[in-house]
Amino acid sequence: GQTPVFPRILGHEAGGIVESVGEGVTELVPGDHVLPVFTGECKECAHCMSEESNLCDLLRINVDRGVMIGDGQSRFTIDGKPIFHFVGTSTFSEYTVIHVGCLAKIDPEAPLDKVCLLSCGISTGLGATLNVAKPKKGMTVAIFGLGAVGLAAMEGARMSGGSRIIGVDLNPAKHEQAKKFGCTDFVNPKDHTKPVQEVIVEMTDGGVDRAVECTGNADAMISAFECVHDGWGVAVLVGVAHKEAVFKTHPMNFLNERTLRGTFFGNYKPRTDLPGVVDMYMRKELELDKFITHSVPFSQINTAFDLMLKGEGLRCVIRMDE
């Protein structure tokens, strides 16, 4: 957030059970299993009515707002003073209060300690490939950045039947892990003297069919675009760049029929589409368990942050009931 609000309860990737509902809420009842999502779906605005967008006018992500949208008040207090909300979810808490438009009702049989991953990062990467890049069976796909989001994009390439899936990362340790997600080739830009896009174009005899960038680094974004094949190549940007970042490429790259696309939350409409992604997991088409490398009780949440900062593991699931 550019204007930090404190104190606030963070957390936005979770799964939970509805404890009670407020006045006027008809879509959910106590006992429903839900995924809270940092960006909502009111189902009434121009974006929600469009088949092509998931950027709800009312409930799209707002990192600065620390209160409920209805009355402008917080639902958390300590010693009579407010504690503020975070992106409408505030899931680092045993209980939270969330706008109904930011909750996706899911199959109650789905294990919440697995499908919680779908409420943010995994859906973002998976959808970038399945919904936006849309590789056909047998295509070559390059994934830039092999964190959890990048590996979710790679999982999408594996599910699509990619013939060659190239992982690109500055950390050589990421290669072994990526093999579980379908990685057939690994490129570390530091191992080469020429730009990585040139390396990939040579490796693939003209470029990959699809590229998905999951780093937030503008240079990686440019490389992802410039490594796709002319005539039909599509590059998709997922990473969030810093405020001053600039994307620079020669216009000829577009004239030669390459396509550059952006995506937000994998182009999934949270309430409409996430139940179907959960069903993909339940049908064993989507593998989620391999993203979970650690699990700790809520009292040890700082251990989870330490693991994240060290870059150890992909997802650490926090168990609220201990």
CATH code at position 261? 3.40.50.720
Residues 145 and 192 in one domain: yes
Q: What mean pLDDT comes out for the span 171-197?
A: 97
With contact defined as beta carbons under 8 Å apart, do 121 and 143 qualify? Answer: no
b/e for 190-226, b at 16 or more Cβ within 10 A? Answer: eeeeeebbebbbebbeebbbbbbbbbbbbbbbbbbbb
Residues 191 and 211 in one domain: yes
Residues 229 and 127 in one domain: yes
CA-closest candidate to residue 210, choices 251, 252, 164, 147: 164
Whether 281 maps to a domain, the answer reads: no
Q: CA separation (Å) from 170 to 13, 142, 195, 254?
A: 26, 14, 13, 27
What is the largest distance, in Å, between two alpha-carbon atoms of the chain? 65
Whether 14 maps to a domain, the answer reads: yes
Residues 42 and 143 in one domain: no
Arithmetic mean of pLDDT over the chain: 96
Residues 33 and 88 in one domain: yes
Choose the final residue of a domain: 63, 88, 117. 117
Whether 286 maps to a domain, the answer reads: no
Residues 42 and 146 in one domain: no
With contact defined as beta carbons under 8 Å apart, do 157 and 140 qualify? Answer: no
Whether 292 maps to a domain, the answer reads: no
Percentage of the chain with pLDDT > 90? 95
The helix/strand/coil state of 317 is strand
Q: How far is Cα of residue 103 from the mean position of the Cα atoms in its chain? A: 16
pTM above 0.85, yes or no: yes
Residues 67 and 161 in one domain: no
Q: What's the confidence (pLDDT) of residue 4?
A: 78
For residue 23, the domain's CATH number is 3.90.180.10
Q: Is 313's pLDDT higher than 90?
A: no
Residues 126 and 257 in one domain: yes
Q: Is 322's pLDDT higher than 90?
A: no
Q: Work out how many domains the chain is built from and give that number.
A: 2
The structure tokens listed for 17 are 């059970």
Q: What's the confidence (pLDDT) of residue 283?
A: 98
Model confidence at 1, pLDDT cuts 50, 70, 90, reads low
The structure tokens listed for 289 are 């368990």
Residues 225 and 104 in one domain: no
Choose the final residue of a domain: 117, 147, 166. 117
Alpha carbon distance 247, 260 (integer Å) = 11
Residues 7 and 95 in one domain: yes
Q: Mean pLDDT check: name the lowest of 63-67, 83-87, 176-180, 311-315.
A: 311-315
Q: What mean pLDDT comes out for the span 307-313?
A: 88
Q: What mean pLDDT comes out for the span 26-37?
A: 98
Q: What's the confidence (pLDDT) of residue 200?
A: 98
Q: What's the confidence (pLDDT) of residue 288?
A: 96
Residues 63 and 176 in one domain: no
Choose the final residue of a domain: 52, 87, 117. 117
Tell me the residue range of the domain where 159 lies. 121-267
Q: Is 289's pLDDT higher than 60?
A: yes
The structure tokens listed for 293 are 């490398």
N-term to C-term CA, the chain: 31
CA-closest candidate to residue 261, choices 243, 271, 247: 247
Q: What's the confidence (pLDDT) of residue 2?
A: 61
Q: CA separation (Å) from 167 to 55, 111, 172, 260?
A: 29, 30, 10, 19
Q: Mean pLDDT check: name the lowest of 93-107, 223-237, 303-317.
A: 303-317
Q: What's the confidence (pLDDT) of residue 321?
A: 85
Which of 311 and 26 is assigned the larger pLDDT? Answer: 26
Q: Is 29's pLDDT higher than 80?
A: yes
Alpha carbon distance 186, 143 (integer Å) = 10
Q: Is 251's pLDDT higher than 90?
A: yes
Q: Is 186's pLDDT higher than 80?
A: yes
Residues 112 and 203 in one domain: no
Q: Is 182's pLDDT higher than 90?
A: yes
